[in-house]
Chains A and B, each alone.
Chain A
Amino acid sequence: MTETKKEEITKYIVISSDKVLPSDAAMKIYESEFPVTVKETCFGLIVTGQKDDVLAVVEKIRQLDKNYIFVKDRGFPAGDQRRCRASRGGGPRPGFHFLREEVKMLPAIGAALDELEAKESVKEKCKEKSRLKVCDLEKIIEEELAR
């Protein structure tokens, strides 16, 4: 039976990007030399290790294409015998069906996040440079006259 320390956590990194492949992300983690266990899968990666290391690695990978890389927690460590297909005679892992359904929606969610980000940047720009409203001008004049 697998024994793990209390501080160890596992994260799914689900990659729905045109720019980054799961193998690229895995190579990036190997380069970073964090002491974590990485398992490459068809949808992305499973990363297990000490909490601080995993959080740092996940953040680093997310920055590769932040709106198209999604992260969630996992209860079982990577390669756990109770869940791993290798020791269960093949077939989809329990919980994979749910993930597969959600992965179908990820490109649309990523595009929506892109649009949201673009909208926010437009709003910020508008705040920086915009024409003075009549009501604001009136307030300024009133304040000046009240002096």
Chain B
Amino acid sequence: MSFLVKVFIYPINSLILADLVERFGHKPLTIMSQIREKVTNISLDSPPINITPEEPKSGLKYAAIEVPAGVRGRMALIGPLIEESEAAIIVEKPPTDFGCVGCNRTNELMKYLIRSKGVPVLEVKYPESDEEAYDFVNKIAAFLESLPKEKPEEEKPEEEKPEEEPAEKEDKK
């Protein structure tokens, strides 16, 4: 399966958004993939779910030291996804802002970072009726179809680099 664009979704663990993004051929960036890396790693540094003191430290990249450790710990998982993202779908007022994804400060920071990143962002309201669901799906479908279909080719100059190095060594000899 070849995915086209990496789409960041908010709520970060949404079933509906993850499914719709995948259905239209793109790759959803979800917290589950980050969690999987943590919990299925053979060496567990900090049982049961392998969150170590390193997480709040790596979260310092996204939030200041006086911000609660919980926010920084969450950002250590979510931040790399934001950096990786090429587009984003933000759903406003989802009814489920509680539990592990219920930290409102993290959610605000996450939305701020993705909006200020400059990638295409779609903001829609969480549907509460059939008509709203129809609009919701239509908007997301139109947005996902408007995203670029082909990725620009890169890394060509990098391939030439290894050839140059042996030549330099020979010169030194």
* Interface positions of A (Cβ within 8 A of B): 1-4, 6, 8-10, 12, 14, 55, 70-77, 80, 82, 94-95, 97-99, 101-103, 105-106, 108-109, 111-113, 115-116
Interchain Cβ contacts within 8 Å, total number: 101
Chain B residues touching A, majority SS? helix
Asked whether B130 is an interface residue with its Cβ less than 8 Å from the other chain, the reply is: yes
> Closest Cβ of chain A: how far from B101's Cβ, in Å?
7
Q: Which of A6, A72, A111, A112 contacts B19 (CB 8 A)?
A: A72
CB pair A99–B15 under 8 Å, yes or no, is: yes
Check A108–B129 contact: CB distance below 8 A. Answer: yes
Measured CB to CB, the residues of B under 8 A from A are 1, 11, 13-16, 18-20, 22-23, 30-36, 38-40, 42, 44, 47-49, 95-96, 98-101, 127, 129-130, 133-134, 136-138, 141
For the complex, give the distance between the alpha carbons of A80 and B32 in Å: 15
**A105 pairs with B133, CB closer than 8 A:** yes
Complex CA–CA separation, A22 to B105 (angstroms): 37
- Assess whether A14 is in contact with B40, with CB atoms less than 8 Å apart: no
The residue of chain B having its C-beta at the shortest distance from the C-beta of A69 within the complex is B19
Is the CB–CB distance between B99 and A4 below 8 Å?
no
- With contacts A1-B44, A95-B99, A97-B98 known, is A73 near B137, CB below 8 A? no
Q: How far is the CB of A41 from chain B (nearest CB, A)?
A: 13
CA gap between A108 and B40 in the complex, in Å: 35
Q: Collect the chain A residues with CB atoms within 8 Å of residue B101's CB.
A: 98
Q: How far is the CA of A116 from the CA of B138 in the complex (A)?
A: 7
The residue on A at minimum CB distance from B142 is A116
Partner of B32 from the list A1, A75, A94, A105 (CB cut-off 8 Å) is A75
Closest 3 CB pairs of A and B: A75-B35, A108-B133, A112-B137
Known: A72-B18, A75-B38. 7 other contacts (CB 8 A): A2-B40, A70-B15, A82-B49, A98-B99, A102-B96, A108-B133, A112-B138
Report A-chain residues with C-beta under 8 Å of the C-beta of B127: 105, 108-109
- With a cutoff of 8 Å between Cβ atoms, the chain B residues found around residue A3 in the complex are 42
Complex contacts, A97 vs chain B, CB 8 Å: 96, 98-99
Name the contact of B15 in the complex, choosing from A1, A14, A115, A116 (C-beta under 8 A): A14
B18 and A4 contact, CB distance less than 8 A: no
